[in-house]
Amino acid sequence: MSAAGLDKASRAAGIDKTGRAAGELPSEIKNTPIRRRVTDLDHAGGDTGAMQVFASLRDANVVLDGPVGCHVMPAVAVINYTDSLPYLQNVTCSELSETEVTLAGTLGVLKEKVAAAAADGKQVFIVSTPVSELIGATWTTEHIHEKGSALFFDSHSLDDDEWRARDRALLFLWAHRDHFIERGTSTPPRTSTRPLVNIVGPTYGNFNSYSDLAEIKRLIAGIGAEVNLVYPFESSAHDTARLADAAATVVMYREYGSSLAHEVGLPTFFAPIGLEPTTRFLRDLGAVLGLEDDVAAFIAREKTETLAAWHDIWRSTHSDFFANAPVAIVAPPTYKDGLTYYLGEELGLPVAFSAYRTGPQSAPSDEVRDALRGLSPAPMLVLGSINERMILAQEALPSRFLQCSFPGAVVRRATGTPFVGYAGALWLLQCVCETLFDVLFANLPTSAAPPERASVPTKDLLRDAPSVAAANGKGQNSITTWTDEAKALAELTVKRVPFFVRVSVNKKLRAEAEKLAARRGSAVDAAIVREVTARYSPRN
Amino acid sequence: MCPAFGAVRNLLRMEDAMPIVISSGDGCLYGHTFVAHFYVANRPVHSPGVSSEIWAKGSAFDELRSMVCDMAERHEPAIIPICSLCVSDTVGLPFDLLPKQIGNTEVIYVPLPAYSVHTHARAKDIVVDSLVWRLPPQRKARSGVNLIGEIFPSDPIAIDELLRRMGTHVNTHVPGPRWADYVAMVDGALNAPLHPFYSESVKRMRAKQGLPFVEGAPVGIDGTYRWITAIGAALALDEATVERVAQQERALVREAIDGQRLDGLTFMVAGYEGHEFLLVRLLIEAGAAVPFLSTAVNANPLAREEERWLRERGCTVLYSANFADEIAALTHRPYDCVIGTTPLCAHAKELGIPSIYYTNAIATRSLMLAAGAADVLSLVNQTVRAKARYERIARFFAADENKLERSATSWAPTIDLTTHLLASQAT
């Protein structure tokens, strides 16, 4: 019988105790399509995603069944620049060499590694990699049915993206919840009478999750509920069955975890991005938990605390610029949709372009490049990954950049940069305003410090004034000539910057270009305009 | 870091190359792309898409071929290196069927299955070997020295200046940023592999080029003198001039080292770049004790001379380094400084030992001649002097501030490698 065919009661009682025969529960998450050609791949594969789930458990050791690169790349090199961890201390690898790949198979070396990984009393998870899948390696020993023995997870590393693999790995843990034995690292059971809430996600390698998690915890505590488990990030494998103890589940990100929440079968909510979505989230969650009054009191208190700053900024002149400060957003679905709604609908920044980073509708890197290059004006701010940052630099676009997605090396361990909840709304608002100020500063019309030297006294200027006008032939002041090409180019340049700095940019461009032309004794031509523009382009 | 990345890194840094990375899967490609964009190059990484279906149908090769043709036509790069990682090499795509040249573009297959490449050093060796193998035979009019090995950008200039004082010069330096740097090798009179891991390239160059070789590098007091005189001998330069230059340089290095002594200090060095041999030379000449050198490099003929020199000075070389042993080696011995991998340094810092990550801190500096010695030893001195800072932080984070312990790692045993090695040296 397939897991999907089980009724809720049998599911709650646990599917096939040994786990293996049960196979896998079906994941609701859709894969990122596999394309014929790839430029600057923006998501990891199934082996990485599965590793990031299992390694998040406190009582787990993970053995990747693959060559050394499959271990050190995700668990030593990349993790250092996504999670700022020197390396994952509970991940190891079967270190396949030529002998295993071509002759012996992986079981021999794998047994040794699994025994070593089990030596400190941890639950061992074996994760397949492309090489082991290619040679059809699995885990077949006489101990596989023993409780607490090593579990093999087929990560579908050749086909599944990291998100779907995370979703499937979480389902796998739930399906095996009776397999795990107490290892002395379980979260102590709750004794309070407050309603309990699960938080599903994050795992390692998830952009900004430390701050987002802190905010969701703050919101749950704020309305008088209590966190049951933060799963898998602050839990043990042995805690898995306790997911059923809560009254509701909050799934941090839509990219993974919702299938698990579905199986657990409790009312499920997603972490909200934006002001109204957060209010709605709190009210809906409160209604399920019977905490309506606490929610109302919390929201009232937030308006005078966390959100007081939000309201102050909103009432300031800062927000007057929003309608003319376009943004572009490229991120996984949760952030892409959340930011599009919050920045676009609530704050009123025009969203000039947005694309999914992952999932069935994700945009390949070259499409994002073409889109960004084609925007006029260029967005004031591009929220994305290092891929977008590189595009901005390579195409010399005048946009500012804010990272909102992996890939891209970053440190996000301080918990003051959430995107979700009220604190997230405030943090993002602050980021937008700082970008505005940054753009304003870069486009101040004059930067003559020290001032230009007066080479001619006023009386000489007065004496020459009539002849300057005469030489110009226009009967008025001295006007430097611009070639048609230069005029067109200047117009284009001005159009590419956000509206709110166009006057400044126009003034500055004219002043600098004419200064250069005077020095060269020529009219302002296209080359001069290009030179001046290049001088003020931001370096991304 | 995946061993193959040693090659991907060098090829992505070639400005007239357009590498294609045939990954094993998205996990693999994501890792390579992530790290490449972090510190190698602000440029796209191109790959054919792969999946179990694509591998099963063999359609990856058709896509690869059309990709190569498109890229050659559209961008006309000097070379398109085809970096074939684990799965494509296991599957055995028929790379022989790719065109060798398209217009002015050379298409070069670079086999990089990580399960048999094992180390960064070996991957770099494969790059040089694959590219140099494409060159025509050595030409008749030969002069100057071909420098082989990644060195600090100003090193070839300093070495060229030195060689000119003896009547020769640097002909070219590989791995370089352009295909032309490799092509120029056909006019060199001598090959100088500066690091002891270009063993496969050297083997095939010996077979094909018929040039003399000088191993080692102008690093440290002994090393500088020996390298300069060996170059002189191999090219039959004027002996008196060579001797004079060698002595001058040796004196300068000695002076630089004397300004940065490390007497009485014990170091642990673990490297996978391949020039850790040279670093340890400098440390030892500056008076430090280095009980062992853990290196990712395999034992090979090029390393023999370096190993002998180190062994005579109390340093055992452990080839094909094992991370677990390195971490275990930290257990009891009071090291004054650790230079090694990220995990090793992370544990050293837990124990309050000043430490630096080899790749980021050391590999980006010159080691050569007097300037290199002064530069790298000043960094080491600076680090060692920060002992108090490392210790304060370690005590703050320790469960018991009087007993600093390293945290558990699933794969690092608790045997004490250092004590074991010292005991075996004593007997």
B5-117 is a CATH 1.10.3210.10 domain:
no
Whether A158 and chain B come into contact, CB under 8 Å, resolves to yes
**Residues 76-115 in B contacting A (C-alpha not used; CB under 8 Å):** 85-87, 90-91, 113-115
Question: In sequence order, what DSSP letters do the residues of B313-362 get, joined into one string?
Answer: TT-EEE-S--HHHHHHTTTT---SEEEE-HHHHHHHHHTT--EEEIIIII
| From A36, A41, A89, residue closest to B409, measured CB to CB | A89
A151 and A17, same structural domain?
A: yes
- Quote the pLDDT of residue A142: 73
Look at residues A264, A289, A309 and tell me which one is the last residue of a structural domain: A309
- Mutate one of A72, A80, A100 to test the B interface: name it (highest B CB count within 10 A): A72
- Quote the pLDDT of residue A188: 74
A162 and A33, same structural domain?
A: yes
**Mean pLDDT along residues B310-329:** 84
A152 and A38, same structural domain?
A: yes
Look at residues A277, A309, A341 and tell me which one is the last residue of a structural domain: A309
- Quote the pLDDT of residue A215: 98
B213, B147 in Cβ contact below 8 A? no
Token code pair at residue A218: 């703050």
| From B2, B42, B86, residue closest to A72, measured CB to CB | B2
- Quote the pLDDT of residue B417: 56
What CATH number matches the domain at B145-255, 3.30.1360.200, 3.40.50.1980, 1.10.287.1770, 1.10.357.10?
3.40.50.1980
* A461 vs A79 pLDDT, higher one: A79
Tell me, yes or no, whether A185 lies in a domain.
Answer: no
A486 and A423, same structural domain?
A: no
A45 and A112, same structural domain?
A: yes
Question: In sequence order, what DSSP letters do the residues of B191-241 get, joined into one string?
Answer: EEE-STT-HHHHHHHHHHH---B--S-S-SHHHHHHHHHHHHHHTT--HHH
Q: A476: pLDDT confidence band, cut at 50, 70 and 90?
A: very low
A11 and A159, same structural domain?
A: yes
Say whether the peptide bond before residue B175 is cis (omega within 30 degrees of 0): yes
Tell me, yes or no, whether A189 lies in a domain.
Answer: no
Tell me, yes or no, whether A453 lies in a domain.
Answer: no
| From A45, A86, A96, residue closest to B26, measured CB to CB | A45
A146 and A22, same structural domain?
A: yes
**Mean pLDDT along residues B111-126:** 90
**Residues 97-156 in A contacting B (C-alpha not used; CB under 8 Å):** 97-98, 100-102, 113, 116-117, 120, 122, 129-131, 133-135
- Mutate one of B410, B411, B414 to test the A interface: name it (highest A CB count within 10 A): B410
> Considering only CA atoms, which of B101, B151, B110 is closest in space to residue B128?
B110
B260-426 is a CATH 1.20.1540.10 domain:
no
Tell me, yes or no, whether A314 lies in a domain.
Answer: no
A22 and A170, same structural domain?
A: yes
**Mean pLDDT along residues B57-80:** 94
- Enumerate the residues of chain A whose CB falls inside 8 A of the CB of residue B343: 76, 86-87, 89
Question: Which sequence spans correspond to the domains of chain B?
Answer: 5-117, 145-255, 260-426
Global ipTM: 0.88
Map residue A523 onto helix, strand or coil. coil
| From A87, A98, A135, residue closest to B343, measured CB to CB | A87
Whether B345 and chain A come into contact, CB under 8 Å, resolves to yes
- Quote the pLDDT of residue A157: 95
* Mean pLDDT estimate for chain A: 89
A433 and A345, same structural domain?
A: yes
Q: CA–CA distance from A30 to each of A37, A129, A358, A362, B85 (Å)?
A: 20, 20, 9, 11, 27
**Residues 357-386 in A contacting B (C-alpha not used; CB under 8 Å):** 365, 386
- Enumerate the residues of chain A whose CB falls inside 8 A of the CB of residue B51: 34, 158-159
Tell me, yes or no, whether A451 lies in a domain.
Answer: no
A158 and A266, same structural domain?
A: no
Look at residues A377, A410, A441 and tell me which one is the last residue of a structural domain: A441
| From A81, A101, A131, residue closest to B38, measured CB to CB | A81
- Quote the pLDDT of residue B325: 77
Tell me, yes or no, whether A182 lies in a domain.
Answer: no
Q: B186: pLDDT confidence band, cut at 50, 70 and 90?
A: very high
In chain A, the number of structural domains is: 4
A379, A538 in Cβ contact below 8 A? no
Q: Which residues contact B420 (CB under 8 A, 6 or more apart)?
A: none
Could you check whether B145-255 and B260-426 share the same CATH topology? yes
CATH number for position A477: 1.10.8
A419, A344 in Cβ contact below 8 A? no
* Nearest Cα residue in chain B from A47: B27
A348 and A243, same structural domain?
A: no
Tell me, yes or no, whether A42 lies in a domain.
Answer: yes
Q: Is the pLDDT of residue A261 over 90?
A: yes
**Mean pLDDT along residues B320-326:** 76
Compute the nearest-CA separation of A97 from chain B (Å): 5
Q: B92: pLDDT confidence band, cut at 50, 70 and 90?
A: confident
CATH number for position A295: 3.40.50.1980
User: Are A37 and B29 a contacting pair at CB < 8 A?
Assistant: no
E-state strands within B12-103: 20-22, 46-48, 79-84, 101-102
A375 and A241, same structural domain?
A: no
Q: Measured between alpha carbons, how far is A107 from A94 in angstroms, rounded to an integer?
A: 9
Q: Is the pLDDT of residue A3 over 70?
A: no
* B376 vs B405 pLDDT, higher one: B376
Q: Is the pLDDT of residue B89 over 60?
A: yes
Q: What does the buried/exposed string (b/e) look like for B93-126 if buried means 16 or more CB atoms within 10 Å of the residue's CB?
A: bebeebeeebeebbbbbbbbbbbbbbbbbbbbbb
Range of the domain at A499: 458-536
